[in-house]
Amino acid sequence: MTEAETLPILFVPDKRLRLKARPIGDADGDKVRALADKMLATMYAAPGIGLAAPQIGEGLRLVVLDIQPKEKPEPMVLVNPEIIAESAELAMREEGCLSLPGQYADVTRPARVKVRYLDLTGAKREIEGDGLLSACLQHEIDHLNGVLFVDHLSALKRNMILRKLAKDLKSQQRG
Ligand code: GNR
Ligand code: NI
């Protein structure tokens, strides 16, 4: 496998992170495979366990995912993913986001989800998950709708995180 180039990841408050991404169609075919390769390379390099196209400035419904990059690399590419079922039971888990570097918070979401998507050959697929996979699937699909993990928190916690992020990024800029 050849090394794909990595892409810069957008940080909050970049407005592109707040847009609803558009579905991928047949006409996008060639571009999508190359973009998915670059997104996987960017995700592994970060390192992260998921990445959605809006995070690299592409308003397309494309997600890459690998929740066990160290133990057993299993790169997944999800085209036009959608949640088709979710459990009534909720689960809380600490989340982070490559677009809010260094910020973490407990997020409560449905414990299990079933997701329908297309693979890179255009075949219809489904994946069902709990635990980290469930949280990651929901986190990435949120990105396609302009939603960030901090949107699931109280306004107080969200504003604390956004203020700390702004401060951290500013002090990084100063070096
Ligand atoms: O690397 C990531 N870790 C993570 C941890 C818990 C729940 C979701 C995630 S996704 C995140 C990478 C990212 O920002 N994806 O959009
Ligand atoms: Ni994220």
Residue-wise pLDDT tens digits, 80-114? 999 999 999 999 999 999 999 999 999 999 999 99
Ligand 1 mutation target, pool 95, 113, 152, most atoms within 8 A of CB:
95
- The pLDDT score that the predictor gives to residue 3 is 74
Active site positions, annotated: 140
Give the pTM: 0.97
What is the per-residue pLDDT for 125?
98
**3-state DSSP call for residue 167?**
helix
The CB of 129 under 6 Å from ligand 1? The reply is no
- What's the pLDDT score for residue 72? 87
Q: How far is the CA of 110 from the centre of ligand 2 (A)?
A: 17
Q: Is 9 in the pocket of ligand 1 (CB under 6 A)?
A: no
Cβ-proximal residues to 26 (8 Å cutoff; 6+ apart), any chain: 122
In the prediction, which pLDDT does 71 show? 86
In this predicted structure, what is the pLDDT of residue 69?
Answer: 78
Tell me, rounded to whole angstroms, the distance of Cα 23 from its chain centroid: 16
Q: What integer pLDDT is reported at residue 27 of this predicted model?
A: 83
Q: What are phi and psi of 84, to 5 degrees?
A: -105, -15
User: Hey, which of 40, 65, 97 would you mutate to test ligand 1's pocket, going by the most ligand atoms within 8 Å of its Cβ?
Assistant: 97
State in Å: Cα 52 to ligand 2 middle: 7
Q: What amino acid occupies position 173?
A: Q
Q: How many Å is the Cα radius of gyration of the chain?
A: 16
Residues 6+ apart with CB under 8 A from 38: 4, 5, 6, 7, 56
For the chain, residues with pLDDT lower than 50 are none
Q: How many CB atoms lie within 10 A of CB 69?
A: 17
